[in-house]
Amino acid sequence: MEAVLSLLVALFFAAGIYLMLSRHLIRILLGIVLFGNAVNLLIFTNGRLTRGTPPIVPPDLMTSAGPVANPLPQALILTAIVISFSFFSFLLVVVYRAYQDLGTDDTDEMRVAEPADEAPPPMGY
């Protein structure tokens, strides 16, 4: 099971990087989402996929009686999901506003500081 999830993590990372190298902002945003999900799945896989009881220690014992689930990866993933969703929402609003102002989502056409009718700057010395 861990080998399958490791391959899925690699696939998510590869697809996310491929999409982030695109010229269109929507594809870049989808790549960021895939990259964030790959990181979450990586944390989940590194937290070991063993089944265990909840980490609740009875009052009469000092430690748990058997194997318990590790709550740290679950807490990290839950926090990462909330942060990545808020980051995606912020980026989506920024991209939408850029599309409204510039009329395109192509990063090459968004060069406002470089007017199209002027000659390009010198490329060499």
Kindly report, residue by residue over 49-80, the tens digit of the pLDDT. Answer: 666 677 778 788 888 777 777 788 888 999 99
Tell me how far apart the 2 most distant CA atoms of the chain are, in Å.
81
95 to 78, 98, 109, 116: CA distances (angstroms): 26, 5, 14, 22
Length of the chain (residues): 125
Taken in order 109, 113, 117, 122, is the CA torsion positive or negative? negative
The whole domain housing 86 covers 2-52+68-102
Q: Say what the pLDDT of residue 72 is.
A: 85
| pLDDT for residue 103 is more than 90 | no
User: What pTM did the predictor assign?
Assistant: 0.76
53 three-state secondary structure:
strand
Residue 62 falls inside a structural domain: no
In a domain, 41, yes or no: yes
Name residue, tokens 């391959």.
7
Q: Is residue 61 part of a domain?
A: no
